[in-house]
Amino acid sequence: MRLIRHCGELTREHRGCAVALGNFDGVHLGHQAVIRAAGAVARAQNLPFAVMTFEPHPRAFFAPHQEPFRLTPFRVKARLIEAMGVDLCFMQHFDQAFASQTAGEFVEDLLLGCLNVRHVVTGHDYVFGRGRQGTTEFLQAEGAAKGFGVTIVPAALCADGEPYSSTRVRECLLGSKPDHAARLLGHYWEVEGRVEHGDARGRQLGFPTANLRLGEYQRPDTGVYAVRAGIDAGGGTRWLNGVANFGRRPTFDKTDELFEVHLLDAKEDLYGRHLRVALIEHLRPERKFDGLDALRAQIAADVAQARACLARRSFPADPGPMVPAAEDFS
């Protein structure tokens, strides 16, 4: 996949594309329906298959001091989009100048002038342009007048009849239900980052951990999780079983948030390395223990529970971003 940040980076082979438009935070199953629809048009008409999304997220631009909410920061979102076979991902920079564009300018300058689109695909609720004045009806009228096709994808519905949404995914994560979030996403929700040095408490307890800061990620509920940990390995990712704690470590009277991952069957130095962590199941809430012996005993029980949880599931050697299949959520 070619990643483009400026119109000047586009080559002739990528212009004249079928493009899916959206923020796509989470790249959940509803987002995937929109992207796949663009892919179907691209294949049918022999066009480049493109996605246009926006960084920073418009919500972060308009309200920069709010609590972290991103399900898929830039790097993760790009990886998920690439896994869908997209040829070109255009990451449009969202700043004041772009936010001030009218809907008509968006069509003329970006869709036609920059991408020279042949077909545009959006979700049914997509809006764009200054004051959110650009609607799907406006886009269809522009397409009819200016010679590009438009497909509006209706809301994709979950088994309960409700539409897939990033908001519902966040609610699942906050409600200790990463398995439910995975049903909405079509893939396990991951966090990733560079492993930091900590205070070595885990090592002292006999359960060394790799420590991550969540940065702009949506915070899941605090507590202990069964996880899959992906370690960079020469251009690929090596996946291992693990158990993780997210919280403030009340036993040690800490107040800062930390995501700590213990690998179940590997002992290696991860400091400074890039780590992906997929949340599989929430095992228990975080709580304060009366001393290190009680904490050590509970961690041993957590490890055993995580092993049992992960043994019930089938993971391929390299699960990638789009796993597991639906039957693995039993």
CA distance readout (Å), 242 to 102, 188, 226, 268: 49, 14, 6, 13
Tokens of 225: 């999780």
> How many angstroms separate the CA atoms of 100 and 61, rounded?
13
How close are the terminal C-alpha atoms of the chain, in Å? 33
Angle between helix 166-174 and helix 178-185 axes, rounded to 10 deg = 160
- In sequence order, which residues have a C-beta less than 8 Å from that of residue 171 and are 6 or more positions away? none
Spell out a b/e string for 297-308, using b for 16 or more CB atoms within 10 Å of the CB, else e: eebeebbebbee
| Contact predicate 218/69, CB 8 Å | yes
- In sequence order, which residues have a C-beta less than 8 Å from that of residue 269 and are 6 or more positions away? none
Q: Work out the widest C-alpha separation in the chain, in whole angstroms.
A: 73
- In sequence order, which residues have a C-beta less than 8 Å from that of residue 318 and are 6 or more positions away? 236, 237, 238, 239
Q: Where are the beta strands (DSSP E) in the chain?
A: 2-4, 18-21, 49-55, 88-93, 119-123, 149-153, 190-194, 210-212, 223-233, 236-247, 258-263, 274-284
Cβ count near 177 (within 10 Å): 19
> How many angstroms separate the CA atoms of 239 and 316, rounded?
9
**Active-site option among 142, 190, 260, 281:** 260
Active site residue 260: yes
Query: Catalytic residue numbers?
Result: 260
